[in-house]
Structure 1
């Protein structure tokens, strides 16, 4: 089977051929005798001893037959069990939580002899469901068999699949040998993302190119770098001083808009969240952060994902991702698939990591924060000063209502657009409410 994302290479598991390995393998084969095989072997040995003592030739032949039959089955199974190749393919290898993925198993008989009865069992974490088992009656020489099963998890994470175990049995049921392959694959269960409406963020209409126009104005007329006139250029952009200097029509260069930036901040402090499981407030926040980041990437933003530890998601430019980067969305979702609670006492590292651009405020800041005490509320107020627009999603009902309302009032007065939520709320509805608030979300410049 061709390799690829989520595909395991062929795993034949052939022995190296050293004498001690062959002896150990033969002992393992003898240990695979079933109750029937051991009974035949014991009966054959007993008949042989009795025939020798009593001098009965016919009984001796019966004893030899009973003894030889399980031993021959051991020998045949021992020779053929190392000539079976297996491979695995995941479809897809990255799946949202609560969605199903299909695992395809392929078994090839690469020996010159047909196999007996085979039973396949794949090792699967209990969170993905029961261990799948398949029975294959007979595989001809050079033949192949393909089977598949489905896995599903409500919890995000990275789950190993494998190694595949193969149990071989002879037609007489004398021997059963279990063989474990070495290859395994990893299924990545990423947080579910919700499609968000393309709302108009405050300041977005006139934001593109504004910083560029400002820098041109500050540079002065003499510092403008012109270019030659092209057919279709607006004559109002002709730079007459450069035209006189070069003896041909020169125009000002087009104003290049700066790429909008956004920082998505996810609070992972263990003390900031209550409850666990797929329906907890923390899992809602992780899913919300993924949805917002993917949505803004699709809208052309350069997105940075930051946690309370102050470490951004690995990206090509200091953790900043944009839609032009290879597999940008996959990198973002893979990181959020494994994010867990941290032991950070507060948000100070996240505040330091925000920093601002060139000493000034950054663009849009979208934060998913948990429960905050007075100190963390002060830090959140200071974070607002490092962004041109700020949107805050905060869980509702995790602390005393009066104290919670006071904290939210302080943050609103600082300029945050605060949107309380409870697990199960639709993020798209909250996103529309943020647009209708009309004041606090600004686009990065």
Structure 2
């Protein structure tokens, strides 16, 4: 960024007007006091007072002109570490200013624009930067609310030594901080009906039938020389080997209910935020266990994409898929839909594997659709959150009432149903799902532990 650039008569006058608008309260007070002294001196005929008034009036004008004529060439950069943080964690922002001109700078004031949820705007004062010199400052930001927050643009304020004039220049670039949901490390238990990763259980026969890829790859240290593809080696001028058999990975779908009418309340401790954090924890846990995973919402949207049914690809791309799904959960909000029909259509497409669902309140129709989502080829676990209990109101249904009948309907369809009480730790709920989730009414959390957002 170059400050104080000039060009043409029109640009010169516009620059002067902008510089005059940069007068501080002190500078305007000097002008007002000087003009008042000059008028009084003219009326009273006091020459000495007139000289003082002119001096006080001219001083801020001189500062305006000098600051306008100043030509600082300053470049700035920002480094954000890390660019993706869990809610409640801190990220460090490092600012660097380089004086690329041959003249030393005067007093510089830096201000970075940040959303209010990340804290107050950081301000720094740099006294003097020598030619070719640089200064580095840093600050920290944190948010308890997930989302994507822009950082910048960086603003540079030029001030004269008397504090009479301040001019602001802005850089054009900015960075984005992604605050993802809090996640919890889950116990390594096996859910009911779950087949293990990389083709174990129901998928094992498919894994043993994997086909060789027809496209060879470059030789890597440790590859069996018997797999060298000599024709491709001669063609490319380097050792090429046939790829190993690619076993079909066990699949898992994490379904997140985002319907507005299914949840009540807002804030970090609300039922919806619990469901989002629990979904993020499930995705990471299943990816670590070698599953090919996809994220599905009630709107029918699939992440990481439609290719291959939306499931994550090979093990080498698990980190990329996890980042994409966490970025999606960082900004997911309530949907305008009132039903699970689109999610049912996405699941009904014949995709086998484990289904882990997080439901809010279910009426009779939605409970029927959820029951139909259960596939014969894999397990299905439903974590159901009662909106009435999570908002502090008494549950609308007693044991054996309509709500319990809907849960029983899911169980009869083959779901492992886990009612989630307010404040429950997701690790405890995960263990209950592995144990078969014995029938338990909604109520206060019976087990102690960290909630789904308790550990990053």
Find the aligned partners of 1:215 and 1:83 in 2 and give their Cα distance: 61
Q: Structure 1 residues 63, 257: CA separation in 2 closer, same or farther (over 3 Å shift)?
A: closer
1:287: which partner in 2? 277
1:184-219 Cα deviation digits (max 9, x unpaired): 211110011111122234454533422467999xxx
1:95 to 85, 88, 99: 85
Find the aligned partners of 1:383 and 1:155 in 2 and give their Cα distance: 32
SS in 2 for 1:165: strand
- TM-score between both structures, scaled by the size of structure 2: 0.76
Q: Structure 1 residues 430, 14: CA separation in 2 closer, same or farther (over 3 Å shift)?
A: farther
1:324: which partner in 2? 316
Number of equivalent positions: 392
Listed as ranges, the matches of 1:163-312 within 5 Å are: 163-201=153-191, 202-204=194-196, 206-211=201-206, 257-312=247-302
1:337: which partner in 2? 330
How much is the aligned-residue C-alpha RMSD, in angstroms?
Answer: 3.3
Per the TM alignment, residue 125 of structure 1 is displaced from its structure 2 partner at its CA by 1.2
2:365 paired with 1:375: yes
Per the TM alignment, residue 387 of structure 1 is displaced from its structure 2 partner at its CA by 5.1
1:97-127 Cα deviation digits (max 9, x unpaired): 0111111122223334333333222222111
2:118 paired with 1:128: yes
Per the TM alignment, residue 333 of structure 1 is displaced from its structure 2 partner at its CA by 0.6
SS in 1 for 2:97: strand
Instruction: Report if the CA contact (8 A) 1:87-1:105 is conserved.
Output: yes
Q: Structure 1 residues 185, 399: CA separation in 2 closer, same or farther (over 3 Å shift)?
A: farther
Q: Structure 1 residues 409, 125: CA separation in 2 closer, same or farther (over 3 Å shift)?
A: same
Larger radius of gyration between Structure 1 and Structure 2: 1
Find the aligned partners of 1:167 and 1:256 in 2 and give their Cα distance: 59
2:53 paired with 1:83: no
Find the aligned partners of 1:53 and 1:275 in 2 and give their Cα distance: 70
Instruction: Report if the CA contact (8 A) 2:4-2:69 is conserved.
Output: no
Q: Structure 1 residues 72, 387: CA separation in 2 closer, same or farther (over 3 Å shift)?
A: farther
Find the aligned partners of 2:357 and 2:203 in 1 and give their Cα distance: 23
Consecutive unaligned residues of structure 1, counting only runs of 5 or more, are 1-10, 217-229, 231-253, 440-445
2:351 paired with 1:354: no
Find the aligned partners of 1:41 and 1:281 in 2 and give their Cα distance: 59
Instruction: Report if the CA contact (8 A) 2:72-2:103 is conserved.
Output: no
Q: Structure 1 residues 278, 143: CA separation in 2 closer, same or farther (over 3 Å shift)?
A: same
2:397: which partner in 1? 400
1:341-395 Cα deviation digits (max 9, x unpaired): 00111000000011243xxx61111111111100001101111136521011111
2:12 to 22, 26, 32: 22
Per the TM alignment, residue 272 of structure 1 is displaced from its structure 2 partner at its CA by 0.5
Find the aligned partners of 1:272 and 1:37 in 2 and give their Cα distance: 58
Instruction: Report if the CA contact (8 A) 2:210-2:246 is conserved.
Output: no
Instruction: Report if the CA contact (8 A) 1:81-1:168 is conserved.
Output: no
Find the aligned partners of 2:85 and 2:105 in 1 and give their Cα distance: 36
- TM-score between both structures, scaled by the size of structure 1: 0.78
Per the TM alignment, residue 177 of structure 1 is displaced from its structure 2 partner at its CA by 1.9
Instruction: Report if the CA contact (8 A) 1:13-1:182 is conserved.
Output: no
Find the aligned partners of 2:325 and 2:159 in 1 and give their Cα distance: 47
Per the TM alignment, residue 140 of structure 1 is displaced from its structure 2 partner at its CA by 2.8
Per the TM alignment, residue 255 of structure 1 is displaced from its structure 2 partner at its CA by 9.2
Instruction: Report if the CA contact (8 A) 1:47-1:59 is conserved.
Output: yes
SS in 2 for 1:408: helix
Instruction: Report if the CA contact (8 A) 2:4-2:71 is conserved.
Output: no
Find the aligned partners of 1:52 and 1:14 in 2 and give their Cα distance: 37
Find the aligned partners of 1:59 and 1:68 in 2 and give their Cα distance: 14
Find the aligned partners of 2:5 and 2:412 in 1 and give their Cα distance: 72
1:107: which partner in 2? 97
